[in-house]
Amino acid sequence: MKNTRKKISFIILFLFLNIYIIIFVKANSNYSTGLEIGTQICEVKYYDEESWNNTVNPSMDPSYWLGGEANIIGARSKLTIEDWYSSDLITSVIFARFLYSNETLSIFPIIRDHGYGEEFINENYTHYYFVWSYTFDYWSFTSRGFHIHPNFNFETSVILQDPLDFKQVLDDYNDYAGIININATFQSLNISFPILSGDLLVWRMLTNCFRYTMGNPIKEYLTTFTNNIGCNNVTIQDNTLIFQRCGVKNYTVEVIYNPQGIIETFKVKNSEGDVIYEIASFYPKTVFFIILGIMSICVLGLITLFIIKKLSFKINLLKNKK
């Protein structure tokens, strides 16, 4: 009986120490999140449709990538961060957050019904990932003003606290996709999962409604993330990710991240370096404070001018009395 108690105590102590060590290591990560609660507005600033068709693809305009009316100059989207918090997630949730396309999500119930759903994933891919989870509302690009209700209401996305974890996620997903793709039942149903390269993973994250954010410091996070998953067409310069792509002709997509880790600008350039499409963003709160600051300076200037005039009047009055 005593030996049994000792064994149980040892197991509990062992598990506690392992959990403590993992949390301690992750808590001392070199990365942090710059997320803030608030709203970002993105606006289509420029779109040269003819150059786009001659360079990218005449059958896929910007809305194919970014949704809504992203092909209309002046169209805006809105992203509101509601809350964020630290947590840890199992593999099946990470797959759903980062890797599944809309098509994959639509056929996943069939996958689940045949015994290859979340339980199968978590039994075969046992990693836990420390993340910053955040909830948000998102309004798709529109030229007609935002509806009261967002297109995505109180959705959840995540930032991996360690960008090195992306390789494990990608390797496990591709292994899982391979199992699905060789299954005879799924082949008979014409069901398959795409195998993802590092470049394709990054591209999905760039074009998925501006909802994927990066950790801080941005340059180091982006560099570690893209290098570790073996991207061949991506380079990092400061807070800018440059993606070399080929459509009708070669072109580049340049994405600048702001200090929060959210996409700030999105540009498509032809091989000559000319911008053929551009999205820029701003924060209404920032604009409000800028206006407030300008108004305060103006008011302060008027008060100062009034005081100076009043003092000048008194000085002149005293001189006249003398």
User: By the 8 A CB rule, do 214 and 261 touch?
Assistant: yes
pTM of the entire structure? Answer: 0.78
- The per-residue pLDDT for 194 is 94
pLDDT exceeds 80 at position 6 = no
- Whole-angstrom CA distances from 315 to 86, 105, 306, 312 are 65, 80, 14, 5
Q: Is the pLDDT of residue 20 over 90?
A: no
List all residues 6 or more positions away from 247 whose beta carbon is below 8 Å from its beta carbon: 55, 56, 57
First-to-last alpha carbon distance for the chain, in angstroms, is: 109
Give the pLDDT score at 294.
41
pLDDT of residue 170: 97
- The C-alpha atoms of residue 234 and residue 139 are separated, in whole angstroms, by 28
Which element (helix H / strand E) includes 238? Answer: none
Q: Is the pLDDT of residue 19 over 80?
A: no
| CB-based burial label for 131 (10 Å; 0-12, 13-18, 19+) | buried
CA–CA dist 302, 183 (Å, integer): 77
pLDDT in tens, 22-48: 444 444 468 999 999 999 999 999 999
Taking the domains of the chain in order of start, what are their residue ranges? 1-30, 31-310
Q: What does pLDDT average to over the chain?
A: 85
pLDDT at position 73 is 98
Query: Tokens standing for 105?
Result: 């999500």
Contacts by 51-56 with C-beta closer than 8 Å and gap 24+?
A: 51/270, 51/274, 51/276, 52/268, 52/276, 52/277, 53/248, 54/248, 54/249, 55/247, 55/248, 55/249, 55/251, 55/270, 55/271, 55/276, 56/247, 56/248, 56/251, 56/268, 56/276
Residue 92 and residue 121 in contact, taking contact as beta carbons nearer than 8 Å? yes
Beta-bridge partner residues of 243: 234, 253
Q: At 296, list the tokens.
A: 């305060």
Residue 282 has pLDDT above 80, yes or no: yes
pLDDT band at 102 (very low <50, low <70, confident <90, very high): confident
Classify residue 197 by its DSSP letter.
Answer: -
Residue 292 pLDDT > 60 = no
| pLDDT tens string 133-190 | 999 999 999 999 898 889 888 888 899 999 999 999 999 999 999 999 999 999 999 9
In this prediction, residue 21 carries a pLDDT of 42
